Structure 1
């Protein structure tokens, strides 16, 4: 890992058939450096999830995959922009959210066309 003192960026996406996550860091000039990749095909129950649930699942699985690297504050970039409104209405998402509470992260919306790393991984 080149930048031990820099914050991690976790980009996530779901495609309806799979989920993907891309872990990176930005250097002093804003250039992103890849650290790790993750993708997984959705199981049958995951395919039945709504788009919002699939996007949240991508976040959950991405964090679980790279948990050993995320011991300090990090940034999540996802195409899901209304997550905070959706979690309160869904028991599954509420449970996932409670499991992530000990972590320090900020979620920011990143348009799908700008989230190409994670998008590509979710379709593999």
Structure 2
């Protein structure tokens, strides 16, 4: 099974990475899928070489890096990396925000492992980059729900974030008008908000940082 490029959003649109922090974000995402990617170490070593201690923060993207990225993108767009959403099973949405982008992933359990069904991510605009950390995280959460709305409407699902204060969007009083507006927008959906460790949120984190 292969999904169209528009379903893979940022992952299939990644091209040249310019900085070490971008390469680290990419490797963090790929490491989660290492058991599903044949020859993982061989495919990712060009990226690891860019992170050698003492090398400049601005990386020299090579043809080897480009070839590896293209092969990994092909693998990430194929089963079992992406699974077909099954409407009778429970959905999980994980979201994350960086200082320049937001990302979300739609997940379902398959064989005891949470597997991605859809990816989404975008850059923050000039107004949004000035939001507080909690506002950016809330924006990412609402973005994920909106992006995957056709799978979530009329179903109970779980929202997962590594930003614990977001729990008040459902159970408490948001701190300002912007957060209140987003909390009201979510009221039409049935969900639980669950805090997860940042180490478990590699999908959405990488998407937000690679925007």
Could you say which TM-score interval applies, normalised by the shorter chain? over 0.9
Task: Give aligned pairs, total.
Answer: 123
Partners of 1:34 and 1:40 lie apart in 2 by: 18
2:206 aligns with one of 105, 110, 120 = 120
Deviation at 1:32, TM superposition (A): 1.3
- The structure with the greater share of residues assigned to helix is 2
Aligned-partner Cα distance in 2 for 1:87–1:11: 22
Q: Distance in 2 between matches of 1:93 and 1:44?
A: 18
- Provide the C-alpha distance between the structure 1 equivalents of 2:205 and 2:105, rounded to a whole number of angstroms: 9
Q: 2:144 — aligned with what?
A: 62
- Please give the alpha-carbon distance, in whole angstroms, between the structure 2 residues aligned to 1:74 and 1:118: 17
CA distance in 2, matches of 1:123, 1:69: 25
Q: TM-score, normalised by structure 2?
A: 0.55
Which structure has the larger Rg? Answer: 2
User: Does the aligned pair in 2 maintain the 1:87–1:93 contact within 8 Å?
Assistant: no
Aligned match of 1:13: 96
Cα distance in structure 1, aligned partners of 2:190 and 2:176: 22
1:71-95, Cα deviation, whole Å (9 max, x unpaired): 2011111011112188522110001
2:106, 2:158 → 1: CA distance?
10
In the aligned structure 2, how far is the partner of 1:106 from the partner of 1:82? 14
The answer on whether the counterparts of 2:87 and 2:151 sit within 8 Å (CA) in structure 1 is no
**Contact kept in structure 1, 2:174 and 2:183, CA below 8 Å:** no
Runs of at least 5 residues in structure 2 that lack an aligned partner in the other structure = 1-83
What RMSD, in angstroms, separates the aligned Cα atoms of the two structures?
A: 1.5
Work out the CA distance in 1 between the residues paired with 2:173 and 2:128: 17
Q: Is the 8 A contact 1:9 1:76 kept in 2?
A: yes
Report the 3-state secondary structure (helix = DSSP H, G, I; strand = E; otherwise coil) of the residue aligned with 1:10.
strand
Q: Which residue number corresponds to residue 107 of structure 1?
A: 193
Using the alignment, how far apart are the partners of 2:146 and 2:85 within structure 1? 22
Q: Report the 3-state secondary structure (helix = DSSP H, G, I; strand = E; otherwise coil) of the residue aligned with 1:3.
A: coil
Match of 1:37 in 2: 119
2:37 alignment counterpart: none
SS in 1 for 2:182: helix
SS at match of 1:44: coil
Q: Structure 1: which 4+ aligned runs deviate by more than 2 Å? A: 1-4, 85-88
